[in-house]
């Protein structure tokens, strides 16, 4: 038992193959200094597992373009050998995963154009907007004054009881005490604000709510809560029902904002009420009636105007015409 028994052979007898430190196959990066013209593209796009290779390539190409460059399907089909259908499918993939956003807007001259917004990091953009929304909601909650509690209803003051008169054998004239009647003090409540404009139908409610939600794109201070959007949707719908275009409503609400804006919803409600345009006048029917239709004469095949088919004037009165001749 004192002697050491070596049952396992020495490690040198085994032939163990170890993998080399560097993989002999696969990609090898050759990095050179980039000239001033280069683009930084995140690995979340280039190594995206749900995007096709064409979508990844188009996303990187669009991020490398300058501001205002055209990226419609026709322009991209001229630039790349893929057809319009494959390019359109790749753009839809990028739009589904948040790398592209296509918005329809109306220009000053009334034309509808498509604005393409490219996001180089959609997850970071969503997180930043969520932080800004939470901070704005917290700031507005802290700035808004508390609502005053309603005044309690005035209670009626009970009438004092008449004093007890001691009866005796002598007739005593009892006088009722004089009580000064004081009118209850009623606090005058301020008049309620006038109701905002209301549309006749709810057909314009959806575009009105979308217009209010997109005001923060023009000015970050116009970030409205869901409650404010529900309250301001009927006045905006009234503007649209009276013939105002969405661009006119957006210009009326965002032009000339003060440098310090504490209550954006109150300012928008004031502008929607005070700057409400008049309704469009009803077109009056024309006084002139339409001329009778053209008919073909049954006697001479000449065209003449009459309410019903028949003969023309010359065929109806031939003797009068010959006598005049």
In-domain check, residue 148 = no
Domain C-terminal end among 118, 153, 168:
118
DSSP state of 51: S
Domain assignment present for 15: no
CATH number for the domain harbouring residue 64: 1.10.10
In this predicted structure, what is the pLDDT of residue 302? Answer: 76
Q: What is the pLDDT of residue 103?
A: 87
Average confidence score pLDDT of the chain: 78
Please report whether residue 242 resides in a domain.
yes
Max Cα–Cα distance, the chain, nearest Å = 162
Residue 280 has pLDDT above 70, yes or no: yes
User: What mean pLDDT comes out for the span 267-291?
Assistant: 80
Task: Look at residue 152 in the predicted model and tell me its pLDDT.
Answer: 58
State the Cα–Cα distance between residues 19 and 223, nearest whole angstrom: 58
Residue 36 domain flag: no
At 102, list the tokens.
Answer: 């296509």
Share of the chain above pLDDT 90, in %: 25
Cβ contact 73:87 at 8 Å: yes
Does residue 11 fall inside a structural domain?
no
The pTM (predicted TM-score) of the whole model is 0.39
Find the Cα–Cα–Cα–Cα dihedral 69, 71, 72, 78, rounded to 10°: 100
Mean pLDDT comparison of 76-80, 196-200, 278-282, highest-scoring range = 76-80
Domain of 76 in residue numbering reads as 43-118
Please say if the pLDDT value at position 173 is more than 80: no
The band of 174, judged by pLDDT with boundaries at 50, 70 and 90, is low
> Would residue 323 count as lying in a domain?
no
pLDDT level of residue 37 (50, 70, 90 thresholds) = confident
- The domain boundary, picked from 82, 98, 118, lies at 118
Q: Residue 60 above 90 pLDDT?
A: yes
Tokens of 163: 């004093």
Q: How many domains are there within the chain?
A: 2
Of 93, 118, 143, the residue that ends a domain is 118
């Amino acid at each position: 038992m004192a002697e050491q028994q070596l049952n396992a052979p020495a490690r040198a007898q085994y032939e163990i193959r170890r993998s080399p430190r560097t993989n002999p196959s696969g990609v090898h990066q050759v990095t050179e200094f980039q000239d001033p013209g280069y683009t930084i593209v995140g690995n979340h796009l280039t190594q995206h597992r749900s995007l096709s290779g064409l979508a990844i390539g188009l996303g990187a190409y669009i991020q490398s373009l300058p501001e205002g460059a055209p990226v419609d399907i026709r322009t991209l089909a001229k630039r790349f050998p893929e057809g319009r259908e494959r390019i359109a499918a790749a753009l839809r993939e990028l739009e589904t995963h948040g790398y592209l956003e296509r918005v329809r807007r109306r220009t000053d001259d009334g034309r509808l154009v498509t604005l393409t917004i490219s996001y180089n990091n959609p997850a970071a953009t969503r997180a930043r907007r969520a932080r800004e929304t939470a901070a704005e909601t917290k700031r507005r909650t802290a700035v808004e004054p508390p609502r005053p509690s309603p005044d309690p209803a005035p209670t009626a003051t009970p009438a004092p009881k008449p004093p007890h008169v001691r009866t005796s054998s002598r007739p005593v004239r009892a006088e009722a005490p004089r009580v000064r009647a004081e009118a209850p003090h009623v606090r005058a409540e301020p008049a309620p604000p006038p109701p905002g404009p209301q549309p006749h139908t709810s057909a314009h409610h959806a575009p009105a709510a979308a217009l209010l939600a997109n005001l923060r794109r023009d000015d970050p201070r116009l970030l409205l809560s869901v409650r404010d959007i529900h309250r301001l949707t009927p006045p905006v719908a009234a503007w649209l029902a009276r013939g105002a275009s969405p661009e006119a409503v957006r210009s009326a609400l965002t032009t000339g904002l003060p440098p310090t804006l504490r209550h954006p919803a109150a300012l928008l409600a004031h502008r929607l009420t005070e700057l409400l345009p008049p309704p469009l006048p009803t077109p009056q029917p024309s006084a002139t009636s339409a001329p009778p239709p053209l008919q073909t004469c049954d006697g001479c095949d000449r065209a003449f105007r009459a309410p019903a088919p028949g003969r023309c004037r010359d065929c109806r009165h031939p003797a009068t015409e010959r006598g005049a001749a």
